[in-house]
């Protein structure tokens, strides 16, 4: 059970099954080409190239069976801290997100790096996305960009101010690519409860670097600490989906479905299809096991409550 108070008018927990219409959700990651204002942006190619890459990859992922997509400015390296990000970045992301939304009819998420949750919320509100990712929702850690602090208090107020309470927040717990020495005296379970208490709608668990799967013990710990939906944010592959969905409700997949297994590769249609087929099998097996367990419980309860046969001998 969660220990946070009722959120009133805010979203009801970001239920993945309600959002995606299935037990195990696969969410594909679209790593956008460099955007205007970033060092690698090429004006000669312009936004047309960014939009073309994003919509082409969206089609491949959704046609293969992915249930949703996250749009991320992954090529805007080196990333800026949130307050240093100019208006050109969310403006460009909103244009791309709107085009992707018109191209495919699945729920979209936004992640404006690094941890620029207000920019992500603005993009989501403008383009009709359903959720945003926050790499550091509460507490703090040391990332490549420097000290990154949790922004929950400001962000939930900003979300309310722009009329975007329908946009849910998926918050990382102990996110990859950084040092967590600042919170070393707080257990993983406590950090998960912190994010829950500060109105995250779903929790994300990752490995230590891009493409690394989270430790099973971390999945187990966070699953036990909160009743919020749990999403794996890195390292999901065709061969480990069973281990992941033993605890998680969904997985964000990027590197594993790219040619060469690297985040900057092109999407591999064959791998996408194999991953979705593997998920479908796991989902069917889970549903059949649940149905069998329910039937067994019903039969057992029936036997326990059945009245005894009256005796045919009367005094």
Q: What is the pLDDT along the chain (315 residues), one digit of tens a residue?
A: 455 544 443 334 448 899 999 999 999 999 999 999 999 999 999 999 999 999 999 999 999 999 999 999 999 999 999 999 999 999 999 999 999 999 999 999 999 999 999 999 999 999 999 999 999 999 988 888 888 899 999 999 999 999 999 999 999 998 766 777 787 888 989 999 999 999 999 999 987 677 688 889 999 999 999 999 999 999 999 999 999 999 999 999 999 999 999 999 999 999 999 999 999 999 999 888 878 777 777 666 666 665 555 554 444
- The whole-angstrom separation of Cα 289 and Cα 296 is 11
Predicted local distance difference test score (pLDDT) of residue 305? 62
Predicted local distance difference test score (pLDDT) of residue 231? 96
Give the largest CA-CA distance in the chain: 103
Vertex 55, ends 54 and 57: CA angle to 5°? Answer: 70
237 to each of 93, 150, 234, how far by Cα in Å?
27, 29, 9
Place of tokens 């102990």: 174
Report the b/e string of 76-99 with b at 16+ CB within 10 A: beebbebeebeeebbbbbbbbbbb
Predicted local distance difference test score (pLDDT) of residue 266? 94
Cβ proximity of 276 and 64 under 8 Å: yes
Structure tokens of 238? 């065709």
86 to each of 3, 83, 117, 137, 247, how far by Cα in Å?
37, 8, 13, 21, 38
Predicted local distance difference test score (pLDDT) of residue 304? 63
Q: Report phi then psi at 72, rounded to 5.
A: -135, 140
- Residue 263 burial (C-beta neighbours within 10 Å; 0-12, 13-18, 19+): middle
Cβ proximity of 212 and 233 under 8 Å: no
- The whole-angstrom separation of Cα 114 and Cα 275 is 28
Identify the three-state secondary structure at position 69: strand
pTM: 0.88
Q: Kindly list the strands in the beta sheet with 146-149, ordered across the sheet, starting from the edge strand earlier in the chain.
A: 146-149, 140-143, 178-179
Cβ proximity of 23 and 287 under 8 Å: yes
Residues 6+ apart with CB under 8 A from 148: 81, 114, 115, 135, 136, 140, 141, 142, 178
């Amino acid at each position: 059970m969660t220990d946070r108070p009722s959120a009133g008018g805010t979203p009801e927990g970001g239920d993945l099954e309600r959002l995606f219409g299935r037990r195990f959700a696969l969410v594909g990651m679209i790593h956008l080409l460099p955007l205007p204002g970033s060092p690698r942006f090429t004006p000669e190619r312009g936004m047309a190239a960014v939009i073309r890459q994003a919509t082409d990859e969206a089609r491949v992922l959704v046609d293969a069976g992915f249930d949703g997509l996250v749009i991320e400015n992954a090529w805007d390296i080196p990333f800026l801290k949130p307050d240093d990000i100019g208006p050109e970045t969310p403006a460009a992301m909103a244009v791309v997100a709107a085009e992707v939304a018109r191209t495919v009819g699945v729920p979209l998420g936004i992640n404006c790096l690094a941890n620029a949750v207000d920019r992500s919320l603005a993009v989501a509100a403008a383009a009709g996305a359903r959720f945003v990712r926050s790499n550091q929702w509460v507490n703090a850690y040391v990332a490549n960009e420097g000290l990154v602090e949790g922004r929950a208090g400001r962000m939930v107020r900003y979300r309310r101010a722009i009329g975007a309470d329908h946009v849910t927040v998926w918050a990382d717990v102990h996110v990859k690519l950084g040092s967590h020495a600042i919170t070393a005296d707080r257990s993983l379970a406590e950090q998960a409860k912190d994010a829950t208490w500060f109105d995250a709608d779903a929790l994300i668990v990752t490995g230590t670097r891009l493409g690394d799967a989270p430790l099973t013990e971390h999945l187990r710990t966070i699953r036990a600490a909160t009743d919020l939906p749990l999403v794996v944010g890195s390292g999901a592959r065709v061969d480990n989906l069973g281990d992941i969905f033993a605890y998680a409700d969904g997985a964000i997949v990027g590197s594993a479905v790219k040619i060469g297994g690297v985040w900057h590769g092109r999407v591999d249609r064959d791998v996408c299809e194999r991953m979705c087929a593997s998920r479908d099998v796991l989902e069917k097996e889970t549903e059949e096991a649940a149905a069998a367990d329910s039937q067994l419980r019903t039969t057992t309860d029936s036997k326990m409550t059945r009245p005894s046969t009256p005796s045919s001998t009367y005094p």
